[in-house]
Amino acid sequence: MNLRDRESEAEARKVIEAYFPLFNSRDAKALLAVIGFPHIRVADGRTTIIRSAAEWTGDPTPLDPAEGWHHSGLESLEFIQSSADKVHARVVFGRYHADGTRYVTYETLWIVTRVQGRWGIQVRSTFAP
């Protein structure tokens, strides 16, 4: 069965689209507007769990300066399943050099949840480092 809740998907879209400019700014406090807790990132053979906003020091994505990362951008977004309080999304994003050249693209699975009336990105599973 493929569950779908269009209102929840619209809320999840807002959160996911807002994430990338906030991530690019590297403003840990601003990112709290779109992050849900506990926040879980599954990548590079590890699972990182940040249990609360009090433990949040910024996005745990490691960015190697040698790769020349300047910013990331949302390439596409597809909703897989959704209910009143949870949305599974296929998020494709790219990493870019300062000149705007995309140098890598990643397909990921994100889970956006509504907890105590607030939507936030709670789980990100990726093959990106």
Q: For position 43, what pLDDT does the model report?
A: 95
Residue 76 lies in domain:
6-55+67-126
Whether 20 maps to a domain, the answer reads yes
pLDDT in tens, 32-46: 999 999 999 999 899
CATH number reported for the structural domain that contains residue 81 in this entry: 3.10.450.50
Whether 95 maps to a domain, the answer reads yes
pTM recorded for the entire structure: 0.94
Q: For position 3, what pLDDT does the model report?
A: 79
Helix (H, G, I), strand (E, B) or coil at 28: helix
Whether 60 maps to a domain, the answer reads no
Whether 27 maps to a domain, the answer reads yes
Domain count along the chain = 1
Whether 94 maps to a domain, the answer reads yes
